Structure formats: C-alpha cells, structure tokens
Amino acid sequence: MEFNTPKVNFTLKTSDISTSDVVGDYPLSNSIGSINQYRTSITWNAVNIKNILGSLYDQHELFNLEIRSFGSPIPPTLFGVTDNDRSLTIKMAGLDWVFNTYDTILGNTTSEAIIGNRRFNSQTAQNNIIIGQRLITTFRKCITANITINLYNIFDIPPEMNAGTIFPQQIFVFKITPVS
C-alpha cells in the first residue's frame, strides 16, 4: 500500500533557473543552473539530495525515483520541426544510477537514465501534463548532485526547433522511495 511506504516528493522547475521566454536570452548559466539555447537541456546545480531525503538518507543506500508529472504550458504556435521532435524521451543525468542505463548501441552503461516519455500536442494552448507514469529508476544515495535533464526526439538526438522558438517552461515532479 502506497500510504505505508515512506516517500519524498520533489520538484525541478526551469523557472528556478530563468523565467525568461525570450529566445535571445538563451543559452544561459547562473548559480542555480544552466539552460541550452532551445531549453532542451537543463542542469540544476548542487541539488541537495541529503536534504531532499531527510531521515531516509541515513536509513537506506538505494532509492527508486519515479517521475510523477511533467508539465509545461504549450503555446498555440508550432514548436519542434516535425512530429518526431515532439515525441520526446526524457533522460536524467547526475545521480549514481543502478541498473538503469544500458545502451544497446554502445553496448555498455551510460550516465543518463530514461525517466519518461512525452508526446507534445502542438495544436493546443492548454497545459499538457503527464501524471503517474510508472517509469522507475534506481540510484545510490549521494549528498549533492548536479542534475541534468535532456530532451531527445524519437531518433535519440536533441529535437530540432523552428527558427525563433524554444521549448516552453517545464516542471518535473518526482517521487523517491527507499529500496528495502
């Protein structure tokens, strides 16, 4: 039963790094993190994992991370060049992943774990939110981490963007549970 399982929820928001929606303001870097020119690669500096986990940090070595939702306001204008650029794989780097990162092309593990998939609808001005995905990744505890989230298109490359556009602001909500 989920209510008996200890858990921690936390959020990473692109707006913590920059609230600008002006294309010319990117790429940018500050003490909180950095964002590339299309807002498809975001790094949050020195995320304090020990503080996020609280008392669970001292009690466990391994934790499951699950993306609970990924929300972003979608502008009514088309972004992404093709449908392939709006079908995204969401990858996270920075944590010490365990058994999550095998790449069949490389034939070995990588530093990124797939944490979600997303299909943007370019024809609506409504918020697009994915809730309750069951993609769960496991990581070893660490005190702090520079966490990077990268968006890749269906061909596992950064999505192309139409001239003068960037991806919208994004919010990633996670649940962490200890591995017994």
Segments making up each domain of the chain, as ranges: 2-178
| pLDDT the model gives residue 128 | 52
Of 128 and 72, the structure prediction assigns the larger pLDDT to: 72
| pLDDT the model gives residue 73 | 62
pTM: 0.87
d(CA 39, CA 175): 23
d(CA 43, CA 103): 22
Length of the chain in residues, anyone? 180
Contact 55, 141 (CB under 8 A): no
d(CA 151, CA 165): 15
Per-residue pLDDT tens over the stretch 22-33: 999 999 999 999
Q: Quickly state the pLDDT bin for 96 (edges 50, 70, 90).
A: very high
d(CA 50, CA 143): 5
Q: Quickly state the pLDDT bin for 132 (edges 50, 70, 90).
A: very low
CATH of the structural domain 2-178, one choice from 2.40.30, 3.40.50, 1.20.120, 2.60.120: 2.60.120
Question: What's the DSSP call for residue 77?
Answer: S
